[in-house]
Chain A
Amino acid sequence: MLEFMQQLINGLSLGAIYALIALGYTMVYGIIKLINFAHGEIMMVGAYVGFFSISVFGSHIIVAMLFAMIACAILGVIIEKIAYRPLRGATRIAALITAIGVSLFLQYTTVFFLSPQQRIFPQTAFQTKDYLIAGLSISNKDVFIFVSALILMAILQFIIRKTRTGKAMRAVSLDRDAAVLMGISVDRTISITFAIGSSLAAAAGIMVGIYYSTINPLMGILPGLKAFVAAVLGGIGIVPGAMVGGFLIGILETLVSGYGNSLYRDAVVFGVLILILLVKPTGIFGKNTGEKV
């Protein structure tokens, strides 16, 4: 039982990271029906921005995180403007292929300029300590990741529920044409969605850096895919679904590595994806809608 609780706690911080990334996937999908394949790479860029702001400017971890969030928000908006906006009328497949292109582009321009080798995430910014509480080993990094993720999610909920921008986002994702008629600027709303989603990914990037203590240009691929699975599990396009899905996938992954064979953990996550897609493609929180002919 203790062992199980321990795995659960380990899973929570990983789950928080996945949840943050999944939020970006789900928000973008909700608003333009695009699987933003490059989302994991935005997280990677965030990790690098954090890395340099700590190692070069010696900034505090929180400052580094804010810095990465701002940089990635801008990056996200630029990507949407250059690569996705021209394809807004195109098929979803065309948009998906473009997103794959953007993802490869970010990975390999990073490889090109910063070399493919992995870097140690600066330990100076975050001294890890383990505490033993009721027989459970809890690391301060897990606490930091979990708490800051929760704070970010709370801020996001506030933006979506209480602000004009949030209302505009919900309106555009419900019915874009009607939103236009209501005087909402769709372009602006989509840009803001990308900015918010990308900044959450950037924060997750820093957390991944702390969690695994190394970063590399291809680090966005697997967490990105798993976060996507989390978004689908929760019901893609549904914000609370992404949070729940993220935690579920994170916990599942640590349980598989803890009890089973860690080599299988990626396969299990993809297995979950396929299972959901076949059984209930709309996810846990999704509503079934038939195709209109």
Chain B
Amino acid sequence: MKKILKNKLSQFIINVIILAAIFTIVQYMLNVGILNRFYEITLTSMCINIILAVSLNLINGFTGQLSLGHAGFMAIGAYVSVVITNYFELPLIIGLIGGCLGAAIAGFIIGVPTLRLKGDYLAIATLGFGEIIRVLLQNIDYVGGPAGISGIAKQTNWAWLFGSVILTVIIIQNIINSSYGRAIISVREDEIAAEVMGVNTTNYKVLAFVIGALFAGLAGGLYGHYFYIIKPETFNFLKSFDILVMVVLGGLGSTTGAIIAAIFITVLTAALQAFPAVRMIIYALILILVMIYRPQGLMGNKELTIRSFGKIWGEKR
């Protein structure tokens, strides 16, 4: 017992040290300019994509409810947070919290009626809601209509991004590795069996949906405060498909898979910046080939841990 505790503690300390090291090294490279503007943008997109992928994975991967409207929640997060900081001139942290709450409330309002639907019907309904959010934003003059809001002060920096990623991953992982998380997963595994075992599946679907939306809102807020401008068109359903590609590639139900896929897709996007059509063709092929040859994604529902690195190392020897 003591030994296990000690192991856990030492694991925890190792994790903290590794994360602190990553943070400091990147911050240093940004400070001295080893990472130029292009890399900085890529890094920012990477962090935002990780948050989006990990949060969508909670809905699509762990709960097994295919949502195609994630970009809509990102949009709400972006708009609410920018309105708070730009129009009311409140600090970024309030803006981000407001964005998260706005997205979570939207998630609740949309989730309660639609989550009664199953499978492909749910997918199409969420796609529809995502588009409705976008069209509504286009028609609200207060937030600039189709032109959106521009001239947003750049406040998102590496510290905010890194902190947000860590926060997202830890909170979602903490939920997954708990009795609540098991209830969420049981919905994916067998809804009827879960109900009969006392799990109120509707509640847990909505819970996962709201939490997923909340973090999509966070990603939206970070996005808005980095790229100077937000407009409804950015958050159309192709953006939702982008996030879906990451989740599918990484493995439905694997947080580390979602992270790795988000990083890979961001790098791919940056590398193919000059060839947007090629990038989309590759996305398309990823979706098709993964579904045909490895429908569980790269990681399946397994997680990559430091220990599994150790295992590979041990096997090699």
Task: Give yes or no for direct A-B contact (beta carbon below 8 Å).
Answer: yes
- How many residues of A are in contact with the other chain, CB < 8 A? 42
Are A35 and B120 neighbours in the complex by a CB distance under 8 Å? Answer: yes
Are B291 and A101 neighbours in the complex by a CB distance under 8 Å? Answer: yes
Q: How far is the CB of A214 from chain B (nearest CB, A)?
A: 19
Q: Is A112 an interface residue (CB 8 A)?
A: yes
B276 partner residues in chain A, CB cutoff 8 A: 111
Are B128 and A270 neighbours in the complex by a CB distance under 8 Å? Answer: yes
Q: Is B117 an interface residue (CB 8 A)?
A: yes
A188 partner residues in chain B, CB cutoff 8 A: none
- In the bound complex, what is the Cα–Cα distance between A274 and B136 (angstroms)? 15
Q: How many pairs, one residue from A and one from B, have CB atoms within 8 Å of each other in the complex?
A: 118
Q: Mark B261-285, 1 if CB is under 8 A from A, else 0.
A: 0000000000000001110110111
Q: Mark B129-168, 1 if CB is under 8 A from A, else 0.
A: 1011001101100000000000000000000000000000
Are A109 and B281 neighbours in the complex by a CB distance under 8 Å? Answer: yes
Tell me which of A133-141, A149-157, A258-266 binds B. Answer: A258-266
Residue of B nearest to A110 (CB): B277
Given A90-B295, A92-B119, A94-B291: A105 and B284 within 8 A (CB)? yes
- How many residues of B are in contact with the other chain, CB < 8 A? 38
Given A98-B292, A104-B280: A277 and B287 within 8 A (CB)? no
Within 8 A of B (CB), among A33-56: 35
B108 partner residues in chain A, CB cutoff 8 A: none
Picked from A93, A97, A274, the residue with its CB within 8 Å of the CB of B125 is A274
Picked from A90, A93, A104, the residue with its CB within 8 Å of the CB of B287 is A104
Picked from B129, B192, B285, the residue with its CB within 8 Å of the CB of A270 is B129
Are B129 and A93 neighbours in the complex by a CB distance under 8 Å? Answer: no
13 contacts between A and B (CB under 8 A): A83-B292, A93-B123, A94-B291, A97-B248, A103-B284, A105-B288, A108-B281, A109-B277, A109-B281, A271-B128, A277-B114, A277-B124, A278-B125
Known pairs A104-B280, A273-B125, A273-B128. 14 more at Cβ < 8 A? Answer: A83-B292, A90-B291, A94-B295, A97-B244, A98-B292, A101-B288, A104-B241, A104-B283, A112-B278, A229-B128, A263-B135, A267-B136, A270-B132, A278-B125
